[in-house]
Each structure stands twice: as structure tokens, then as C-alpha cells.
Amino acid sequence: MPKEKILCVVGARPNFMKIAPVMKALHGSNVLSPYLVHTGQHYDAAMKHAFFEQLGIPEPDEDLGVGSASHALQTAEIMRRFEPILERERPVAILVVGDVNSTIACALVAAKRDVPVIHVEAGLRSYDRRMPEEVNRVLTDQISDLLFTTEREAEDNLRREGVDPGRVHFVGNVMIDTLLGHLPRKVPAETTLAGAGAETGFAAEGYALLTLHRPANVDDPATLEGLLRTLRDLAENLPLVFPVHPRTEGKIREAGLQALLEHPRILLTPPQGYLEMLGLMAEARLVLTDSGGIQEETTALGVPCITLRENTERPITVTQGTNTIVGSDAGLIREAFDDVLASGGKAGRVPELWDGKAAQRIVQTLEAWRAEDA
């Protein structure tokens, strides 16, 4: 029997570490075979190629090359370019991951063409509809046929929204599959720091790792300036390593705030590859971030994380992991920072099923689902 095709979609950086183990597990299946479409939402070498290479993701079968635009234009363009591929390839289902614009755009095209949608990392909710990702999550889950969750609370969120529990499968966290699989190959922080031009001994006293890219933090010049001033103050106590997302770089430049980051204890770097970032996270004394994925990765690594957001869609990182939510208030950031330096931060534990086998469980479930259909 020929294998049945599952069309897998990726678009932006946080998708790549989620699709990698799923692709690998699908390649090992006797009944299913993956076909990979990259929408091109992220396209810079530092935002794409480094990840495909390091994570061993095969080159996409199709690259839609959409690039950057407003949300409406980007989403529409992905839909326009994706539909003919779906029509031509006729997969038995499409599989989308996470919550970026590519996720909802392709899910919507498939749902309208009656192609089943599989959503990996379903049911996460920040309950903050001002976040573009929250809109993407809620809508994608509503039109998905199979929903794979990373934590038990996600099942409750989905039930509240009327999603049939029979469609929901708690399988664990594919991003942690990737983390555990690649940890032995992480690039030592010292190597990355030296490569980024740090003075020898920059990190001798340890460092805090910072990432920042959410519109809520970087789009408004006053909010961005307040945050950068607070972070610059923290650097007096602990050197700061800051790989700058292209979006954030643009906003800092537009707001004329570059000088705030010119400080001997702040190291700015371009976006890092996956293995470099893994090393930087694993060896940091603490991480300051507004990323979703990094909250989970630091929990898995047992590294204290201070989240520069008002809420999180990943509450398990707070209740069980090493995460503390502080928002953008200078006083709260300082308090959490001082607490980690004084106490070493929350010990935390690794959540249920974050064990490196989530992708295997997903593929087993998909195989059983196809067998039911046959």
C-alpha cells in the first residue's frame, strides 16, 4: 500500500523546533509520509537556514516565499499560495504547529477544502486577545480535527470552548523532544560569546540572557524605552547577553534608542542558531524573555526564567517550572531579578510527558486514526 501523505506546515522560527521531531517520526512510519511546506514567513538565514540545518529538517518540498507584511496581507498571501499546493498534493490531512500566522492561514485553507487539520500544541491560552497569537490559537483549534496538547490545562481550555474531547490527545511537548535530542550538541556559551566579540572573561561572573520581540513590548517607543532602561540597570549587577530579533532591531532603530544599549556589560548579537541558543540558555544564571517557547525550554533546563509579559499561555511553566511572570513594570522586574540572584530562583520540575517522546506519540495516534478510517 502506498503511504498516505500528511502535509506539514512551518512558517516562523518557533515552528522549526516543533516540526523537526514530527518529520523524523513521520519518516519512520510505514503508513504515513510527510510533505513539508514552508510558507516563508521567516526567511533570513539567521531566522531559517541555521535551524533547518542544525535540526536536520529536510529542505521543504515547497517554499511559498511570502515574507513579511501586515497581518492581513501576510495571512492572505499564505492562503492564496497554499491553496494550489493543497489541491495538487491531495494529502489525507495537514499538520500545523504553534500559533503563528502561517498556522491559522493554512489551517483555514484546509478546513474550507474539507481536508482534516491536525494541530500540534493545541489548547494553550493566555486569555489576552490583544496578542495576535491568541487569536491564531483559538481559531486554529476551532477548525482542527485532531488536537495534540502539551499540558493538561490545555484540555480544560478546549472543553470550555466546546471542542469535542474525543479529538484531543495529551501527548507532551515536541519542542522538548528537540531540546533533549540536541542538548548533547549544544554550543558552549563561551564559544558563542567569543564569536560575538565579547571580551575574554565577559561571562566569568555569569550572565543573564535576554530575548525581546513581542509587539506589546517593542512596538510602542515609550514602553520599549522603559524596558531597555530597566534592563540596562540590571546589567550593572549581571552582564546581559541580548540576541536581537530583526523586528526588535528595527523598532530600536526607529525609536532612536540604540545608545541605551551601548554599555560595556551588554553584549548585542544577531539572532542565534538553535544549538548556540541552547548553550546560552543552559549556562545562563537567568533568562529574561517575552518568548513563549523559551519559557518552556528554561523549565525543561531548570534555568530561572523571568517573563516580561503580563500573562502566559503556558501556565505549567509557572506552577511547576522555573518561570515567574512580571510584565514590563521596572519594580517587578528588579524584584524578580534580585530574588533569583539571591536565592538561585525556583527549583521547578519537568512537567508530565516532557520526556522526548511526544512526536512518537503523535505519529502513533495518527496511525491509529488512519486505521480507523480505512
Judge whether 60 and 89 are in contact, CB under 8 Å: no
- How many Cα atoms within 13 Å fall on the side-chain side of residue 169? 21
* Region binding ligand UD1 by CB under 6 A among candidate stretches 30-38, 41-49, 53-61, 260-268: 41-49
Task: Quote the least distance from Cβ 214 to ligand UD1, whole Å.
Answer: 7
**How many other β-carbons are positioned within 10 Å of the β-carbon of residue 148?**
29
What's the burial of 224, exposed, middle or buried (CB within 10 Å: 0-12/13-18/19+)?
Answer: buried
Residue 47 in contact with ligand UD1, rule: CB under 6 A: yes
Query: Can you read off the three cell numbers belonging to residue 143?
Result: 477548525
Q: Which residues contact 338 (CB under 8 A, 6 or more apart)?
A: none
Could you say which residues in the range 76-115 bind ligand UD1, by CB under 6 A? 100-101
Task: Quote the least distance from Cβ 122 to ligand UD1, whole Å.
Answer: 15
Selected from 44, 59, 161, 205, the binder of ligand UD1 by CB under 6 A is 44
Residue 270 in contact with ligand UD1, rule: CB under 6 A: no
Selected from 24, 42, 186, 251, the binder of ligand UD1 by CB under 6 A is 42
Query: Can you read off the three cell numbers belonging to residue 121?
Result: 500544541
* Region binding ligand UD1 by CB under 6 A among candidate stretches 6-14, 57-65, 107-115, 230-238: 6-14
Is 213 noted as a catalytic residue in this protein? yes
Could you say which residues in the range 198-217 bind ligand UD1, by CB under 6 A? 213
Residue 41 in contact with ligand UD1, rule: CB under 6 A: yes
**How many other β-carbons are positioned within 10 Å of the β-carbon of residue 195?**
12
Judge whether 311 and 294 are in contact, CB under 8 Å: no
Task: Quote the least distance from Cβ 341 to ligand UD1, whole Å.
Answer: 28
By three-state DSSP, how is residue 19 classified? helix
**How many other β-carbons are positioned within 10 Å of the β-carbon of residue 16?**
25
Q: Which is nearer to ligand UD1, 103 or 360 (CB)?
A: 103
Question: Which residues sit at the interface with ligand UD1, rule CB under 6 A?
Answer: 12-14, 41-44, 47, 68, 100-101, 132-133, 213, 245-247, 250
Write out the catalytic residue numbers. 213
